[in-house]
Amino acid sequence: MSSRETVLGRVRRALADVPRTEGPDDVPVPRRYEHTHMPTEGPGATGAPVDLLAENLIDYRAVVHRADADGLPTLLCRLLAERGSTEVLVPPGLPPWWLAAADPVRIHDRAASTPDELDTVDSVVTGCAVAIAETGTIVLDGSPDQGRRRITLIPDHHVCVVRVPGQVVASVPEALERLDPSRPLTWISGPSATSDIELSRVEGVHGPRTLEVVLLTE
């Protein structure tokens, strides 16, 4: 008997008493696991979720900035200038005032754009759907202020604006409660990197080498 036959045999035995008409959602699955491991009080307390998010983003080698609404346009202008960006990709629903002070040419997210064309753009600026403090992860769901997935994977410089505290949750379970699983979700924990070859870290393999996160105080 092959390994395949062994595995399929175990699956069939496990499903032997399941009625054929039963669907995956007919039997509720108990989800009594902890939704967060972040203590907020007493010994070991890690403080506010926003501070923990910033700490874990930095640990993943993202560059973290903080700004309020008045300072955001100037900050984005400075970040793009320091990068030497002459063109910036813009999702269709990005608030125009975010880039009101920036000089680079806006390249709008279009379905007709080829990967080679997107590869010539210096930077991309987006919002996000939610950010997870415990893992330092930012999640994009393709909403209008984030655009299609590929515009955040091809340019080498990604600036992501996170509204705090409204878009920050403590844990992955809390993030999943906010996300629609039918949408194209992109989970980002720091710049793209891999250590597959001889454990040598190489950045920029599957996405931007530089991730800058702006924590925008609401």
Supply the DSSP string of 106-172, one letter for each residue: EEE--TT--HHHHHT--EEEE--SEEETTTTEEEE---TTT--GGGGTSSSEEEEEEEETTTEESSH
In what helix (H) or strand (E) does residue 178 lie, and over which residues does it extend?
helix 172-178
- 18: DSSP letter: S
φ, ψ (nearest 5 deg) of residue 4: -60, -45
φ, ψ (nearest 5 deg) of residue 191: -60, 155
CA-derived radius of gyration, the chain? 21
pLDDT grade, residue 184 (50/70/90)? very high
Q: Which CATH architecture has domain 45-217?
A: 3-Layer(aba) Sandwich (3.40)
Mean local confidence (pLDDT), 96-116: 92
Domain ranges of the chain: 45-217
- pLDDT (tens digit per residue) in 5-33: 999 999 999 999 999 899 888 988 887 88
Mean local confidence (pLDDT), 198-208: 82
- pLDDT (tens digit per residue) in 55-103: 999 999 999 999 999 999 999 999 999 999 999 999 999 999 999 999 8
Please report which residue ranges of 15-114 form alpha helices under DSSP H: 49-59, 72-83
CA–CA dist 77, 102 (Å, integer): 4
